[in-house]
Chain A
Amino acid sequence: MWDYSEKVLDHYRNPRNVGKIDNADLIGEAGSLACGDSLKLYLKLDGDKIIDAKFQTFGCGSAVASSSILTEMIIGKTLDEAKKITNKDIAEELGGLPQEKMHCSVMGHEALEDALKKYYGDSIDDDLPQDTADKIVCTCFNVTENQIWEAIKVNNLKTVEEVTNYTKAGGACGRCKSTIKDIIDTYWKGAPKREDVHLTATQKILKISKVIEQQISPELQKDGGDIEFIDLDGNKVKVKLTGMCQGCKNSRMTIKTFVESILKEKVDSNLEVVQE
């Protein structure tokens, strides 16, 4: 049983401002039925002031409570004031949410942002290059890089688990977890500048084995397989797939699209990976 605050209980039991505004000036949407929660937010404006807000939510107790309290928070505010509201503000207004439920507050914020977008036009986070912003990172829950970036920034997130709690990304098949980790690292360390510095053969070998050990092997182990680094011949990286990967009909794909692309990105763009 979740440890919901009194305020969450009150808002899912007696949600405020439920329904639809027929001639709404702005409508925002977030989530989807297939993903397990979705929210529609309707705003009625007088000039730049929100004079009415209503919501319809498909979701759990904390999703309904987040939507309900959001409408209370924005009624009477100007759009500029509403724009400043973050998911953190929603969660705080509810007296806190369980960590695993923080994504409900994020959904509230996303619906608000979606509605305001129609007023302000697209204003993607300045920190993130435009072309990567809408890239879907988590295909299970359709979470974009921008959404993850935003959640990290607003909520000071440091781990993949926290990102999953806040955005759901990585919460189903888990394949995007390494990408999420990269986004976290990029956010906190600044984008790693990859210059094609010349590496000696020994440096290359050391770097390849480090990348294999820390980034490639753990992913393969999740599927019951593993990888061994055998040798480096010029730019040819010889590896051996073991465990479940051995003899797997997708092993070529794994080598090319996964192992090689990571090594190219992290070590040297001229590398080629072959199976022993």
Chain B
Amino acid sequence: MIYLDNNATTAIDKKVLEEMLPYLSGEYANPSSMYDFAKKPAAAIREARVKVRDFFGAQNEKDIFFTSCGSESANMAIKGVLNCNKEKRHIITTKVEHPCVLNTYKWFEKQGYEVDYIGVNAQGELDVEELKEKLRKDTALVSVMYANNETGVIHPVEEIAEYVKSHSPETRVFVDGVQAAGKIPLNVKETKIDLLGVSGHKFHAPKGIGALYVKPDVRLTPLINGGHQERGMRAGTENVPYIVGIGKAAELAQDALKYEATEVKRLRDKLESGILRSVFNARLNTSISGRVPNTSNIGFEYVEGELILLHLSDIGVCASSGSACTSGSLEPSHVLRAMGVPFTALHGSIRFSLSRFNTEDEIDYVIGKMPAIMDKLTKISPFQDELIELKKRKGL
């Protein structure tokens, strides 16, 4: 199997699993307990928090809160901030946020909040000027994802945070960092970002663990009330093995950032240019630059995405699609629609997302197989005249 769907989830790194295992068997003590047996898990959590702090590039480990996933990190940040600042009723976000963020704002809209959704251009790049124009004195929260899950496009969150803070210091800035974490360096202490959420399973920790960075002066209400865990901000007995897991995964990801930026990027670029060269109905849905190093979103014109995925799956390749048919909804991806991807390619867009575990052989295999798959699938398409025209235009 060739796994090229790392923006959906990643394999647990074996070193991560190894560190977790003791806490899934012998070391089961509740870290809050007052006996020696609880010392090791308590220390393990402290250690993990330091590792995640370094991964975020945060000042203090007290700024790091463990959560159960990326969605919880986002909900804790958004609801926590808005609950603490009820007189401000305006929110700015983007049209291309992950559904876990977008649907949270839709919910707030129903509660009477006013939300501005900032658009993107054809390459998926955010209209920062529009965002700046929308900023008001009563803007409670500006919320922009660091990198888009479907396209990999990086948004200028540092510049946005800088602008927001200089024009409306009380407005909070939340960054959904789920798709940036482990792919590009996070340096929150160098920025004006107030909150940044991540999800462990996107960087080789297991599913079921996330983290949220909260700048020290930012007040939040907890999402889960109860005990004193996470300094009262997130009650519930700590998920020790998974916290250990995200700690180790953060450490490994931090060490691998250079490899991501060079080797993973090289393989991604090779895959991308290989497909664009050999498949005549392929188009890159983004610019070449300005993306996280592992993601490529390619539109295949006049062929439907699920059909491509099923044929890729038949040769052991895992990728994903923004096609309506794969999601269970009937509409294609909101991200590709916001970009205005032409409808000829909208339903046939495939996301390939690599990790540090992919090899050159795997990439060569996919590049080698793609033309034959597309040859078969374009023959089924009713748009033969259009495909012939496309072929001519590409000079093939």
Residues in A lying within 8 Å of B, measured CB to CB: 12-13, 15, 18-20, 33-34, 36-40, 56-61, 63-64, 100-101, 140-141, 164, 168, 171-172, 221, 224, 243-244
Contacts and interface: CB of A to CB of B under 8 A. Distances in A.
Contacts of A244: 109-110, 112
B304 to A, nearest CB: 5
Given A59-B304, A60-B325, A38 B382 contact: yes
Contacts of A221: 110
B383 interface: yes
* Closest 9 pairs between A and B when the two form their complex, measured CB to CB: A171-B330, A60-B325, A60-B306, A56-B382, A224-B110, A40-B382, A34-B343, A61-B310, A36-B347
Contacts of B383: 33, 58
Which of A15, A37, A61 has the largest number of chain B CB atoms within 10 A?
A61
B331 interface: yes
Contacts of B303: 58
Contacts of A33: 302, 343-344, 347, 383
Given A37-B304, A58-B380, A244-B109, 16 more contacts: A33-B302, A33-B343, A38-B382, A56-B380, A56-B381, A56-B382, A56-B384, A57-B381, A59-B304, A60-B304, A60-B310, A61-B306, A61-B307, A63-B307, A64-B307, A224-B110
Nearest to A246: B112
A243 B379 CA distance: 52
B190 interface: no
B330 A168 contact: yes
Given A33-B383, A39-B382, A100-B328, A224 B109 contact: yes
B323 interface: yes
Given A15-B380, A39-B382, A59 B307 contact: yes
Contacts of B305: 60
A241 to B, nearest CB: 13
A14 to B, nearest CB: 10
A1 to B, nearest CB: 8
A243 B109 CA distance: 9
B387 to A, nearest CB: 11
Contacts of A58: 302-304, 347, 380-383
Interface string B71-87: 00000000000000000
A172 to B, nearest CB: 5
Interface string B315-358: 00000000111101111100000000001100100000000000
A171 B302 contact: no
B361 interface: no
Contacts of A12: 307, 310
B314 interface: yes
Nearest to A57: B380
Contacts of A59: 304, 307, 325
A140 B379 CA distance: 28
Given A60-B307, A64-B307, A171-B331, A36 B379 contact: no
Contacts of B310: 12, 60-61
B381 A36 contact: no
22 contacts: A15-B380, A33-B302, A33-B343, A33-B347, A37-B325, A40-B382, A56-B381, A56-B384, A58-B304, A58-B347, A58-B380, A59-B304, A60-B307, A60-B310, A60-B323, A61-B306, A64-B307, A100-B328, A101-B325, A140-B331, A224-B112, A244-B109
Contacts of A141: 330
B116 to A, nearest CB: 14
